[in-house]
Structure 1
Amino acid sequence: MYPQLLAHVKRQVQLTPAEEHLLCETMELLKFNKKQIILEPGRHCKGEYFVLSGLLRQYYVNAKLNEQIVQFALENWWIADHDSIVNHVPAGTYIQTIEASEVLLLHNKDKGPLLEKIPKLETYFRLTMQRAFIASQRRIGFLFNQTDEERYRYFIGLFPDFVQRVPQYMLASYLGFTPQFLSRIRAKKAPQPPEGGVF
């Protein structure tokens, strides 16, 4: 049994003990070393990963060979290349561990049968995807409407512990500016961060 996963599911839907057992039995436990590539462009994404411990990132490499991070995933977050999964096409992104990590993999081939046996999980995954989509929309809005410094201050106000775990160049890539600019921002005294919200 995986208490972390079950606690996360319980925030949205209530499963019976038998359903909890089936869910955990369906997941595959995987352990990865630091900086290990889990997915790379050209390969099909095997499924959706739920992080038990550690930290992962999802990123593109552009024509100038610069990495552009589109998502981080730490404990109790899901991560996957959904374009690959939904459209049955090769992945366009990398997924890599930043720290040594333990994750649960829900294989694509197993998800459909699992949802047929536990229909309540349809609601869980729908709500999880809705929250992720909202967070993505807000991030895009912040990229367009906030200055680089405002965006950084807002982010560290929401995730102060997380910022300490991420290398500076990766944080800069995610927030849309250079590591040099981030160094200058961090050298300043931070103002009081805004309250609440999701980034």
Structure 2
Amino acid sequence: MYSQLFNHIKKFIELTTEEEEMLSTYLKSISVKKKQFLLEQGQICRANYFVVKGCLRLYFIDIKGAEQTTQFAIENWWITDLTSFLFQKPSEFYIQAAETAEIIAIEPHHYDEMFRKLPKLERYFRLILQKNHQASQMRIKYLYSQTAEERYRHFNHLFPEFVQRVPQYMLASYLGFTPEFLSKIRAKK
């Protein structure tokens, strides 16, 4: 049931069969429909989510009332509002299914016990957070150092299948421009 997650973990650390069985007691499988929310602003984030199939997004509403997507998660990616999740404080973000999705959740009350019983997982999650932080830093750099068209071309080069999967307004929001501008860029091809 959790083989995809276990295979992902094996890219970073080794778990025995017994450790996988122990880990599975902390996991919860969830199916979500397209546009369904896992988190809304003001709620406390109830889990860290691993995407088995589908696509989730993290976004906030800016001062103009527009949705600003800050992160996507597709297969084998994790997504959460880390501040709300770790400190159990109301979130300023939304987590929504951009596609119908199958996900695995780890709830915050399991984290300390899971790390105590399976200390190897602290290394796994540290490595995942490092990769996530590095990706966030590069995204911010690209937002400030590339033109909108360069950002689109770069993202499309890295994730060509992803560009086709998500609605245009979500992709435009993530890349820092309007859906209308994205249409113009795509028309230039």
Q: Which category of TM-score, normalised to the shorter sequence, fits these structures?
A: over 0.9
The 2-side partners of 1:164 and 1:47 are apart by: 28
The structural deviation recorded for 1:34 is 1.1
The 2-side partners of 1:43 and 1:175 are apart by: 26
Q: Which residue of 1 aligns with 2:99?
A: 99
The two structures, once aligned, show a CA RMSD in angstroms of 0.8
The 2-side partners of 1:85 and 1:51 are apart by: 17
Ranges in structure 2 where 5+ consecutive residues have no aligned partner:
none
Q: Which residue of 2 aligns with 1:114?
A: 114
The structural deviation recorded for 1:86 is 2.5
The structural deviation recorded for 1:88 is 2.5
Secondary structure of 1:99's aligned partner: coil
Q: Which residue of 2 aligns with 1:61?
A: 61
Q: Which residue of 2 aligns with 1:40?
A: 40
2:101 corresponds to which letter in structure 1? S
2:181 corresponds to which letter in structure 1? F
The structural deviation recorded for 1:123 is 0.2
The structural deviation recorded for 1:168 is 0.7
Contact 2:169–2:178 (8 Å) recurs in 1: yes
2:93 corresponds to which letter in structure 1? T
Contact 2:35–2:97 (8 Å) recurs in 1: yes
The structural deviation recorded for 1:99 is 1.0
Please state if 1:17 is matched with 2:17: yes
Contact 2:56–2:73 (8 Å) recurs in 1: yes
Q: Deviation per CA, 1:35-93, whole angstroms, max 9, x where unpaired? A: 10110011110120001111111100112210000000111110000111223310110
Contact 2:86–2:108 (8 Å) recurs in 1: no
Contact 2:12–2:124 (8 Å) recurs in 1: yes
1:26 corresponds to which letter in structure 2? Y
Q: Report the TM-score when normalising by structure 2.
A: 0.98
The structural deviation recorded for 1:25 is 2.3
The 2-side partners of 1:188 and 1:119 are apart by: 51
Higher mean displacement: 81-90 or 13-22:
81-90
The structural deviation recorded for 1:163 is 0.6
1:111 corresponds to which letter in structure 2? Y
The 1-side partners of 2:87 and 2:122 are apart by: 19
The 2-side partners of 1:98 and 1:150 are apart by: 24
1:16 corresponds to which letter in structure 2? T
2:82 corresponds to which letter in structure 1? H
Over the matched positions of the two proteins, sequence identity in percent amounts to 51
Q: Which residue of 2 aligns with 1:141?
A: 141
Q: Which residue of 1 aligns with 2:173?
A: 173
Q: Which residue of 2 aligns with 1:77?
A: 77
The 2-side partners of 1:106 and 1:86 are apart by: 12
Q: Which residue of 2 aligns with 1:131?
A: 131
How many residues get paired?
Answer: 189
Q: Which residue of 1 aligns with 2:87?
A: 87
Q: Which residue of 2 aligns with 1:195?
A: none
Q: Deviation per CA, 1:134-179, whole angstroms, max 9, x where unpaired? A: 0000000000000111110000000000110011111000000111
